[in-house]
Amino acid sequence: MSATQLKLIAGGLVLLLLLWGGSALFSRGSDSVRGSLDLRAPAQTDVDSITIVKASDTIALARQSASDWTVNGHRAALASVTELFQALRDTVHPELVAQDSSSFTRLQVDSAGGRRLRLRGGRGGKPLLELIVGTRPTDFQSAYVRRPGDKHVYLWRGQLGALVDRTLDDWRDKRIAALAPDSIAVVEVVRGRDRYALTRAGKTWKVNGAATDSGAVARYLERLKAITATGFATPRESDSTRTARPARRLAVRSARGVLLSLAFDSTAGAFLARHLAGTGGEGATVYRMNVWDVDGVTPTGRSLMPTKPMPTKK
C-alpha cells in the first residue's frame, strides 16, 4: 500500500472521528435544550384554583381569600396549600431521565397512572401551570414528572410527589376550635359519672366550689388553645352519632355566653367529636380524635384539684 493511500485512509478516519464527536456533542446539546423543564411556578396570590386529578378522583382547591381555601367544598388547611407552592419552588434542577413515550407507563406519567396537577388564575381561569406527576422512586423524596404533550420525563427531587398523593382528608382543615384562656369563665365537663364545673373566681379557679391546683388548671386552659382532630368520621359514623348518647361532653362559656360545645362518642381506639355550638367547627362535620387528645380536653375533675399529701409515718 502506497504512502498516498495510507494518508487517504488516515484522513478518512480523522474525518469520521470528527463527525462522530460533533454528532455526540450536538446530541448532548440538543437534549440539554429540548430537555429543559423551564418551570416558573406562579405566586400563591396569583392562583385561584388547584386541581389534582387521577383517574376518576379529583381534589379541587379553590381560593376564597388570601388566607382561606376550600377543598371539594370543605375548609382546607392553609398550611397544606402553602406547602404545595413551596414544593414547586424548592427543588434542584430536574434531571432528564427519558425522552420517549414508551417510558410513560413504566414511570406512571401517562393518563392512566399519572396525577395531573393544574393551577389556574386570573380572568377566565387562565392556565398557569400544568404537570403530570408519576411514580415516586424508592427514596420517596422525588417523583417523575412531565408536561402534557411533551415526551421528556424528568426526575423531580422534592416533596411534590408526596403532596399530590395526599387524600381529600389530608387537605382538609382539622382544627376544631381555638380558645383564648382569658375569655373563659366556666368549663363544664361530663365524662360518665364524673361531672364538674371549673369556674373562674377572680384570679382563682374552683371545681364544683372546691379549691384547685393552679398549675393543673393553667395547663388545662393552655390545652384548650388549640383543639385539633386527627381525621374525619365516615358518613355512616356521622349518622350514628346523631342518635347515640354521648360518652363525654365539653361546654366552655365566657361571661357573655357559649364559646364552645362538643359531644364525644367513643369508638374502637378513638372518639368521634361533634361540634354543637360556639366558635370553630365546620357545619355538620364530625371529627375523629385520639383518646389521649379527648382526655386532654375533658380531664377528670380530680386531676384539677390539689394532690392530698401522703400521711407521715410516726
Q: Residue 101 carries which DSSP code? A: G
What is the helix, strand, coil percentage profile of the chain, to 5?
Answer: 30, 35, 35
Q: The cell 488516515 sits on which residue?
A: 10
pLDDT at 10 > cutoff 60: no
- In the prediction, which pLDDT does 26 show? 38
Report d(CA 82, CA 128) in Å as an integer: 17
Report d(CA 312, CA 314) in Å as an integer: 6
- In the prediction, which pLDDT does 124 show? 82
pLDDT at 11 > cutoff 70: no
Give the other-Cβ count within 10 Å of 271's Cβ: 24
CA proximity to 294, closest of 238, 233, 227, 245: 227
How do residues 166-176 score in pLDDT, each as one tens digit? Answer: 999 999 999 99
Is 186 exposed, middle or buried, given 0-12, 13-18 or 19+ CB atoms closer than 10 A? Answer: middle
pLDDT at 263 > cutoff 60: yes
pTM: 0.80
- pLDDT classification of 257: cutoffs 50, 70, 90: very high
How do residues 138-159 score in pLDDT, each as one tens digit? Answer: 776 889 999 999 999 999 988 9
How do residues 272-300 score in pLDDT, each as one tens digit? Answer: 999 999 999 898 899 999 999 999 999 99
Which of 91-95, 100-104, 123-127, 262-266 has the weakest average pLDDT?
91-95
Q: The cell 355566653 sits on which residue?
A: 257
